[in-house]
Amino acid sequence: MTILKHLIYKEWVKTRWFASIALLLNLGVLVYIFMSLRSSFLSAGGVTYLSALLTYKTQFFSIYRYIPLGIALLVGISQFAPEITDKRIKLALHLPLHNLRIIYTMVVYGFVLLALCMIPGILIFTGLISIYLPAEITLPVLQTMLPWLLGGFCAYFLIAMIAMEPVWKFRFLYLLVSYKVLSLFFMHLPIGNAVSLLPVLCLVTCLSSIAPVYTSYRFNKGQL
């Protein structure tokens, strides 16, 4: 247990500043979207604004699309870049714990940190937009943002997978596959149109969460 605590502390030391930036970035963008929504709502008038939203299904929050991906990059790179420099992760993998446990302590730590960076902002945002928007619009808005959030989590798992791959040519190949997989999460869909895609995206995210096991195993065994 003490080893795990130390492992988590090590992760915290590596990621704390980047996670703080990610948290502020997330909150800042969401508050900006809310201010923009409020301004448009008040200047156009409630009926006109909501009617336009319902008719044109415009994404007033589209600026948020790549924020979860950016947060995943910040957390993932800050967490795994120091580990792969000079193969420092080998030190952690030689601790008297099962390798899978060590890897998943790191990955779950990153996942929780990512969730803590994104979820509070989303909850505050939901509360704020509910002042102006009825539930029939708030819910599709969240349904539209959910693929982006899942895309953030999936990107984090794929970063972990790529980071722990020992061979550069394979890293490049994984990067190409990851790009294609992630493009599924960031398709330009009208508000609420992603509902039928959500189960697929959840499945892809779950499957990507086990990907780091494969490359970390290769990393540990020095397989080329």
Partner 1 sequence: MLIKIIRIIAVLFAVTAAASVLPRLYDTTFSSRGGRGHKDIRYSEILKDFIISEYVYSSEKSHTAGQTIYYDRHGKSYSRDSVDQLFLLDNVSQLAYEGRFPDTICGMAVTPELVSSEAFSQYYSAQPGLYYGLCELRDRKSYTSRSLEPRDLFRITPEGIQFIVCETNQIDEEKSRRFTTELTRLDFRFPALRMWTSPDKSVSEAIGYYVTDSKNYLYCLSMELSTPVVQKLEKPDNKNIRNVNFGKSSDIRALLITEDGDTYIQHPDLSYTRLALPSSLGKSGTLNGNLFYRIFTLPDRNRQTTFVFDRDFRLLDSCSLYYSPRPQSTAGVFKELLLPLRIGQTAWNGFYADWSPIKRFIWFNLILTAIALYYKRKNGNRLSDAFTVTDLLLVVVFGIYGFIGIFAFPLKRSQKEIVKSKSADL
The alpha-carbon radius of gyration of the chain (Å, integer) is: 20
What is the residue whose two structure tokens read 């029939």? 136
Q: How far is the CB of 120 from partner 1 (least distance, A)?
A: 24
Nearer to partner 1, 86 or 169 (CB): 169
The correct pick among 40, 59, 126, 193 for binding partner 1 (CB under 8 A) is 193
Reported residue count of the chain is 224
Record the tokens describing residue 9, joined without a space: 């502390």
Residue list 45-104, contact with partner 1 (CB under 8 A) = 45-47, 49-51, 54-55, 57
Of the two residues 88 and 221, which places its CB atom closer to partner 1 in the complex? 221
Q: Which is nearer to partner 1, 111 or 217 (CB)?
A: 217
Does 203 bind partner 1 (CB under 8 A)? Our answer is: no
Burial (CB count <10 Å: 0-12, 13-18, 19+), residue 2: exposed
- For partner 1, give the closer residue by CB, 74 or 103: 103
Three-state DSSP at 23 gives helix
Question: Closest distance between partner 1 and the C-beta of residue 3, in Å?
Answer: 23
Contact 158, 75 (CB under 8 A): no
85, 96, 176, 188: which one binds partner 1 (CB under 8 A): 176
Count the neighbouring beta carbons within 10 Å of the beta carbon of residue 172: 11
Residue (2 or 196) nearer to partner 1, CB? 196
Is residue 15 within 8 A of residue 114, CB to CB? The reply is no
d(CA 161, CA 206): 14
Query: Which of residues 40, 120, 192, 202 is near partner 1 by CB under 8 A?
Result: 192
Q: For residue 160, which of 59, 53, 221, 78 has the smallest C-alpha distance? A: 78
- Residues of the shown chain interacting with partner 1 in the complex, contacts defined by CB under 8 A: 45-47, 49-51, 54-55, 57, 130-134, 136-137, 140, 170, 173-174, 176-177, 179-181, 190-193, 207, 210-211, 213-214, 217-218, 221, 223
